[in-house]
Structure formats: structure tokens, C-alpha cells
Amino acid sequence: MKVDMDKLVSLCKRRGFIFQSSEIYGGLSACWDYGPLGVELKRNIKEMWWRDMVRERDDMVGLDSSVLMHRAVWSASGHEEGFVDPLMECKACNQRWRADDTKDGRCPDCGGELTEPRMFNLMFKTFFGPVEEEAAAIYLRPETAQGIFVNFANVMDTARKKLPFGIAQIGKAFRNEITTGNFIFRCREFEMMEIEFFVKPDTAGEWFSYWLEERQNWYIKLGINKENLRLHQHGEDELAHYARVCYDIDYLFPMGWSELEGIADRGDFDLAQHAKHSGKDLSYFDPDSGERFMPYVIEPSVGVDRAALAFLVDAYDEEPDKDDIRVLLRLHPDLAPVKVAVLPLSRNETLVPMAKDVYAAVRKCFTAQYDDAQSIGRRYRRQDEIGTPLAVTIDFQSLEDHQVTIRERDSMKQIRVPVAELTGTLELKLSGEPLEVLPPGGKYWLGFEE
């Protein structure tokens, strides 16, 4: 089901996923704060990316470079000159627009006449040290990639990797975007997950195709419906100043198909530029062929916030529920902010000690939430709405037979399992095991009326 953006924004605020930055002062546009659930979702996305792109691969190493870098980096990389958008201003209402968001030289808001476009650099400037003068001006990085390129020789010398290999980094980036909006789709402060994958120049095409495939599969593996993904090849007029070829992995967001991730063939542009400007040799010596050359780079790059939006949109669902509607986030268990909810049937004091013991055991293994407020049906709905895949319920029978109920978010099926087998069963279920193949001892049970 495709969710309307307003509904999603409201759910995210109401349930503590995402808040407007500096909200009590009227808000700061295109900057967002992640609440208790949002921060877990975001951490899970980054953790899964790091697990799949770095830890489980033999040809990738990680890096964490600083946000502030020497100004010369941005001169060499071409960002000082080329990281610009054409900006037009409305002569009537003074609103500013990216030229490609306007038509016929008229303001999209009030129809007023627009100024001629002028180039606007998207990098945020600040001052390094106590003196506020141009000589001390530096930039907040608009991409994490340059931190990787300027460390290429350091990593080569220390990680003992042979081509092909990649360097991956997750970190904040800043862009003074002219037009923002669409919630966390385009922010002025955001996080990126970037890979610079260094290859022999004559293998760049093969590796480009490999990463196109690999990255689409990553989203599908984590629950994105593949019908909502498509590839878009950049035309000459869309290519960034450093790219030879670029494809976007587009996602069908509520406002239409838009870029989720970019995969670019940057050739040897960056290493060659940094070698030229720094005077350092950044070439690679191939021990097999005895040749020295500048590696080419394939770059899969995605914003964590934009990925979070795609996962939330894709997971959002509504279904009829008696006279009401059940809202749920069908998030993949690896991404769900809370994995297991522990719910005593009521606040009856005889249930609480056992429920607390179960909670203590469960939270040692999984991110868990304890909830004893309101009816069990309402509590299930609350957990559905934040995407919790499993709920464990403790009832009066549990006190006697030491069994508890596990209820599944998507199917609403319930089963009864011995407490001694609980964490093992939850583990199996969270890794995708269907309810039908429970370990010995588990048996079907009628469950609670929802």
C-alpha cells in the first residue's frame, strides 16, 4: 500500500520516530531529530549496511574520517567550482527556487517573475579557529567520499589490500539545499553510507554492473518491494562533474519516482585530482602485472535518512480490523526499532513478577519494550504501528504451566511456548522461521482475542 506523506509524518511524530529540529522555536527547515524509535531504526539501517557491505566481505574495509577537511580538498575535488545549483529568486514574494523546479521563468508559488539563474554553491562555510576571515574559511563536507580519496594511500599502506577492494564510510554530510521538503527526503544535514570501490580501469564496467545488482538486492533483502525500485541512467546534463557514468536506484516515494541511491563510475577523477593538487603519488602498483596505474572507482552512495524514508514508506500498511483499521509497519525484523514487546495480560500483581522476569531475559538478547497500559488488543495495535515483529504475552495460565504466548505482527498468529525455550524461539522467528516450525515443545494455542 502506498502511504500518503502526511500520514507518515504524523505517525513518525506521534510515535517518536522523527521530530522537526528546534521545533519549540518554530523549527529549522530540512533538519530533523530522530526520537527513541527513529534512532533505533537508523542505527539498524547503518548496522545492516555495515554488516553486509563491510564485515561480511573480504574486499572492503571501513573508515571514519573527519567532517572538517583542508579547504584544498574541495578545490581539488571540483566542489568549490562545480558543486552548484542554479538559483532563481521571485521578484514578487522573494522565494528562492532551483531553476529546474520552475517553469517559464515564473514562481511556482505566486506566479511572480523570477530573476535570471545564478550559480549557488551548496557547501556550508564556516571558520576554522577564532578569526572570522576568508583565509580561515572551510567547508562542512557535502559528501563523505573525499575523506576516503584523501586516505587512499594511508589505507593502501596499512590494510594490505589488492585491487579490487573498497573503502566504506558512514557519516554526516551537509548541503545548503535551495529547495527542500518531502520530509527527510532532502535535508540540509544528513547521513551518508558511501563505498569507493577501487578497480583496474579495464574492469570498471563489470564492477559497475555488479554494484548495480548488489545494491538493489540489498533493499529487496531488507523487505523493499522490488516493484517499487527502478534504475534511471543519468543523461549528459544530469551527470555530476566527477562522473563518467551514473545510475540512480529510484524508489517510488509518495511524491513519485525519485533517487534513493546513486551508483557512479568516477573513473580516476578524484585520485588524479588529489595527486595533482597534493603532489603525492596516489597510483597503485599491481604486483601481478608489474604495472603502475591510477585505479578507477565505482561508487554506490546512499543517504541513511532517504533509505529510512523508503523503508518506512514500503512498510506502511493498513488493513480492516473489525470496525476499525489496523495500521502497521511491516518492517523487516533486522530493521524494526523494537524486536519484541513483553505484555502482561493485565497489571494484576500476581502476573507482574513473572512478566518482569521474562522482560529481563528477553531484553538481554533483543531490543524490547514492556507495556502494561490498556487492553491487550490496544497494546498489540500500538506495537503493530511501530513495526514490532513479535509480542510475548504472560497470562494467569503462564504462572502454572510456565508457558507464554508469542504473537506475530504480520499474520497475528499466536503460539504457546515454554519460557525455557522463549529466547531461542524468538531468535528463530526473528530470523524468518515461520511459526509452523517451532522447536519441540512449542504447540499451537488459540491465543487472545484481539
The residues binding ligand GAP (CB under 6 A) are: 143, 145, 175, 177, 186-187, 190, 192, 194, 259-262, 299, 301-303, 305-306
Closest CB to ligand GAP among 153 and 302? Answer: 302
Minimum CB separation from ligand GAP for residue 179, in Å? 10
Distance CA 135, CA 150 (A): 22
Q: How far is the CB of 196 from ligand GAP (least distance, A)?
A: 9
Q: C-beta of 143: minimal distance to ligand GAP in Å?
A: 4
Q: Strands across the sheet with 256-267, in order?
A: 60-63, 165-174, 189-199, 296-303, 256-267, 245-253, 229-233
The residue among 34, 83, 389 whose CA lies nearest residue 223 is: 389
**Three cell numbers at 171?**
557519516
Residue 39 CB, shortest distance to ligand GAP, in Å, is: 17
- Angstrom distance (rounded) from CA 246 to CA 239: 7
Instruction: Name the residue number minimizing CB distance to ligand GAP.
Output: 303
Nearer to ligand GAP, 144 or 393 (CB): 144
- Look at residues 342, 449, 336, 370 and name the one whose alpha carbon lies nearest to residue 44: 336
Rounded to a whole number of angstroms, the minimum distance from the CB of residue 190 to ligand GAP is 4
Distance CA 310, CA 289 (A): 44
Considering beta carbons, is residue 194 or 265 the nearer one to ligand GAP?
A: 194
Choose between 299 and 371: whose C-beta lies nearer to ligand GAP: 299
Q: Rank residues 272 and 428 by Cβ distance to ligand GAP and give the closer one.
A: 272
Separation of CA 29 from chain center:
20
Q: Is the peptide bond before 164 cis (omega within 30 degrees of 0)?
A: yes
**Smallest distance, Å, CB 302 to ligand GAP?**
4
Separation CA 251–CA 248 (nearest Å) = 9
Nearer to ligand GAP, 150 or 302 (CB): 302
